A and B are shown apart, each in its own frame.
Chain A
């Protein structure tokens, strides 16, 4: 088991290196003169030259890569072209709202999606099952911003239940933070909830046809107990996988949600950096999001061994 863990963790290292190379190439692969592109149409030749020097664009790519890599290794992600503030500082300032939003969204999506899918699976073809499926199709196909504006309109503007805009930091109290994030999280979680519900339903339906479920029932265990103790853990692998996918995809959704709800997080930072072609920020955020994605998938992979004892053996034998 330990060997399996260690091997999985080591396997991630080359992936992370590859990610770093890809992020570095981002700027290199831009067609035309990157300095010109970054500076914009109205820039003077001096401004362009300044950018070129700042980003070491006047040196051969290998030297650039070494410089970038060694800075990265020291935790230096460069400085913003516009404000001159170190990127790490910018990220540190804005990571909390994004983290909280993502966390809340995933918790909501899992806590609603898994029970809903499980419930539908026990009543395949019934009215309730079809209703759940219909809802999940709707949640899946409505764009985040429409849902977001709809929620803002009814819940905030009409009913005045929750604030429509802004973010209260944790330092103002967990209650205030949750209050300010509730609407954005609900708007954002629809898609993931729908995905999780669908996958859960399919996985549980499949497991419920297995022989060992019949054995469990023949032992006199109640339906609910069999469902929770015997069926769900055996359906966990696809469910955890889709949750992992969700966390990866969440980062895209965060950009939209933070813009709509005016939350000062990484999403907003990314959106403005892209508009202003602030390359060091774009590179840093891409790197960050990619690393998160890889790590989440590693966690998902490791959890397989937790849910299916056979995985530990198979992986070990088949390596």
Chain B
């Protein structure tokens, strides 16, 4: 169905000597310098690199979609399908966009028009490029929605984007980009904003459609696991230049450039173990990693929660009729030994952040109690409550949003001390200086504002502020998921060495199992508000017992291009709404092993060997039996 390019010997796309500059005041600053890359027909080229390395700018230049007045292509030739794109008029480029080159963007939440129905947005493409009638266009839109396996596609045609989940919206984006069967698909970080489980589904879908339509793909990512899963060839970008290009197997087996090697070393991989066992997560700047330290035994309990639950009332429809409340968290008990790290993993929407906010005492639980330093908190009021609250601090995912933009780094870190009012300013200055040293920031940065820092540095400031009052527990909600791999390694190492030094306890919330393996002592897996499995790290990673945990593991990209996992069909299969929790076992709607028993009775969290607990009628069934059946699902 796809036409061959004009000259079969030529690549489909060849970018030569591309340089792009951005305007900064009166000057033009280079963002991309003399970059070359090409894509053969039917090939997948992965462009990998940290944020700001010029990946998006390069591909936007190919599309002719650089921001108009602030960016310019200062040199470069772009040969596509026998035509020199840089010489085309805007009208000619407009005809190529969407017809011969389709594009998918990172943010599925904002990349669709919120005021237009999905079906209309899809139909636009063929109406524009093929002159299709409204009816034909709508029919083709429906076919395409079915192709990307949106459940109940016909009724989704008339939905607005906000009515779909992130994963579904990204499927719609893919459908839209492929509506007119382009020769080249450019996907710019298409799964960065998605959960691992949904990422696996979306990547498998792209791979499948690519095979079926014979489309060439440029896949931009900063995740080496995604590269290993998807790429035929890889181009590594750094600071606006391409530092290395190689076939995927070669790149992983024999990386040539030091930067590529450093990137590979900084990426946590499943099965690598934890820092406590002496595992080293290299950082690109060569900063030392924490030295070996076994988890402290019998140091007491920093935090204990029993039977925690949180319901959110929800009103909808006519005159605020009361709908079913959302059970965001439901009967969660946990215990955090002093000096250790408890990780909580699960997909977004499973209640992790609500749990964190309850543990922080910022929202009141609907049921259950939290004990901090052996003191029950439910009945505490006023000053006593404030005192306890000080013992538990938080680090957020987005350091920029959580730091006051008008305050200097020093003011931000000192603020809790100043509010406390116990110390004079000399003492405070000394404490802040010590903390800056501890989190690896230079004293010269004390007077700077948040926007003058990089993402990693901002997270260091957030950590310094969290520990300034000497808390017992730090709750970190996805603290590294917004960071590049190299920076992520630095922050993980920093958190580990602070724990080592100060004996802090962490609650580490994450959806990334490879990160969790490096940092955690105990892991709790959450699903729809419940803990469905909990175990010491080593035990969980050796033999996960709950089918959901197995599914999470199988969604993690492999980091080994010879052992790909996402080659097969994966059904669209998402977390049910927490206002409509399945009866019996709550995972049964996604569980390939579900039986009548699972529908009839809700399994409780029950102890197995070695401190392993699981809430499943058939513990370990996924690992014993159906690897193959399980992978159907991902």
Residues of A within 8 A of B (CB): 3, 6-7, 124-125, 210-212, 214-223, 225, 230, 233-234, 307-310, 313, 316-317, 319
Contact = CB atoms under 8 A, between A and B. Distances in A.
Contacts, number: 89
Contacts of A216: 113, 124
Contacts of A221: 94, 98, 124, 128
A218 B97 contact: yes
A317 B314 contact: yes
Contacts of B318: 3
Most chain B beta-carbon neighbours within 10 Å: one of A125, A216, A308:
A216
Interface in B57-93: 63, 65, 69, 90-91
B107 interface: yes
A6 to B, nearest CB: 8
11 contacts: A124-B69, A214-B65, A214-B105, A215-B173, A215-B176, A219-B176, A220-B95, A220-B128, A221-B94, A221-B124, A234-B113
B115 A316 contact: no
A218 B316 contact: no
B358 interface: no
Interface of B: 63, 65, 69, 90-91, 94-99, 102-103, 105, 107, 110-116, 124-125, 128-129, 160, 162, 173, 176-177, 314-320
Contacts of B63: 218
A216 B129 CA distance: 13
Contacts of A215: 103, 105, 111-113, 173, 176
Contacts of B317: 3, 316
A130 to B, nearest CB: 14
Given A125-B69, A211-B105, A222 B94 contact: yes
Contact of B98 (A218, A309, A310): A218
A3 B115 contact: no
Contacts of B98: 218-221
Contacts of A211: 105, 107, 110-111
Contacts of B65: 214, 217-218
B128 A219 contact: yes
Q: Nearest 8 A-B pairs (CB), nearest first?
A: A220-B98, A219-B98, A220-B97, A3-B318, A211-B110, A218-B103, A309-B160, A212-B113
Contact of A233 (B91, B103, B115, B124): B115
Most chain A beta-carbon neighbours within 10 Å: one of B91, B95, B112, B114:
B114
Nearest to A316: B316
B92 to A, nearest CB: 11
A220 B94 contact: yes
Given A214-B105, A219-B176, A307 B316 contact: no
Contact of B129 (A124, A125, A220, A309): A220
Contacts of A219: 97-98, 124-125, 128, 176
Contacts of B128: 219-221, 225
Given A125-B69, A218-B63, A308 B97 contact: no
